[in-house]
Amino acid sequence: HSFPTRRSSDLSLHKKSVFLHNVPLLTYPCLDITESTPMRILFVGNIDFFPNKEGLVHFVEYIYPIIKQRIPTVELNIVGMCKDQETKSKLSAISGVNVLGFVDILREEYQNCRAVIVPLYHGSGTSIKFIEGIMMNRPVVSTQIGARGFNNFFHANQHYCLANSDQEFANHAVNLLSDLDNSVLMAKMAYEIGKTHFSKQSFYDVVTKSIEAVAEQ
């Protein structure tokens, strides 16, 4: 977003830019994960969008079975548009995978999961599902593409889990599902950073300061 300004001395036009990060609609964090939190992984996104579909299908075919073998009770809830009935049927046919489509209260899906996954292998820009998971106080497992654009704020395997292979993705998910102390700590550390840079208030502050700077000039 560019805010052109003019110097009062000569009125020559100077371009000044302020970068505004993605801000998820949901920014009030969920309660911490506890023993009573379902043994559940969450994916949120438009499945008809090819990068989401590609990544999710790959996850279900190659990563989820590894997790399922180690934690038989694990579930995967998938939230988001899916008009492709073939893909929907393919995903739903797998034990423990629930394709929910749109849900009335998205926050409840975050509250009732232990980890959020971002299995993206192609695409551009930053992934809103990555930062939304963090702002919901949930640990995130992501590929490099899914975490792209956030590296200056969040450190891999400290504030989120970075997976460079299917086995590594599965290992991270299993650890987050079973080690609640680590999951809660990771989620809390990431949320504190997210609150500073990706909350609605931080967005408003940047806009307000930019407008005030333009007005002064």
Q: How many residues does the chain have?
A: 217
Residue 131 pLDDT more than 60? Answer: yes
Instruction: For the chain, give the percent of residues with pLDDT over 90.
Output: 72
Phi, psi dihedrals of residue 177, rounded to the nearest 5°: -70, -35
β-bridge pairing 2-6 and 75-79 = unpaired
Residues 146-191: pLDDT tens digits? 999 998 999 999 999 999 999 999 999 999 999 999 999 999 999 9
CA gap 18, 147 in Å, rounded: 22
Percent of the chain with pLDDT strictly greater than 70:
81
